[in-house]
Amino acid sequence: MTDVSKESLGREIDVEFFSDVGKEVLSIVEEALLADATAHDNVLTVEQIQDVIGALAHAPNLMADILKTLARPNVRIKYKRDPFTRILVESFSHLFPNDDGFGLAQGALSRRVLPGFFVAIRLMIGGGPYDKFQTECQELIARISEE
């Protein structure tokens, strides 16, 4: 591990960790762009590229999940989701590792696919409708909580 002292902050910075974060982010962007390009006969317009980047920027907890995974790669991450994304995942949540011994070795689906899944959904239905559904779910939960 390479540590570089940053005098202006008075603390050490783990350069290797930030390099890993950068590589992981670029890998996710590349995957999203390639998936979208494949869906559009290997051609993307500027608008489509902006849509992919926008979807990644709005992916729930994407950066937090990357940082948690890189900081503690062997720790199972508990994902906190908003109501809309919980609804999206509910139909296949039984495929994720659980406390009953069903894990990745037994064919469980890694929760690391979730950020990409949310990006794909956002790209398929569009950012506007995605945000609208998300807001409507949050408002519904707030209204129910008040009762």
* DSSP per residue, 33-95: HHHHHHHTTT---HHHHHHHHHHHHTSTTHHHHHHHHHHSTTSPPPPP--HHHHHHHHTTGGG
Higher pLDDT, 69 or 72: 69
- How high does pLDDT run on average in the chain? 77
- Tens of pLDDT, residue by residue over 89-100, are 889 988 988 888
- The single-letter code of the amino acid at 69 is T
pLDDT band at 1 (very low <50, low <70, confident <90, very high): very low
pLDDT band at 9 (very low <50, low <70, confident <90, very high): very low
Q: Is the whole-model pTM more than 0.75?
A: no
Between CA 143 and CA 59 the distance in angstroms is: 25
From 48-52, 77-81, 132-136, the region with the lowest mean pLDDT? 77-81
For the segment 130-134, the average pLDDT, to the nearest whole number, is 89
Residue 79: its pLDDT value, please?
Answer: 45
Cβ–Cβ under 8 Å, residues 108 and 76: no
Residue 65: its pLDDT value, please?
Answer: 73
For the segment 24-43, the average pLDDT, to the nearest whole number, is 80
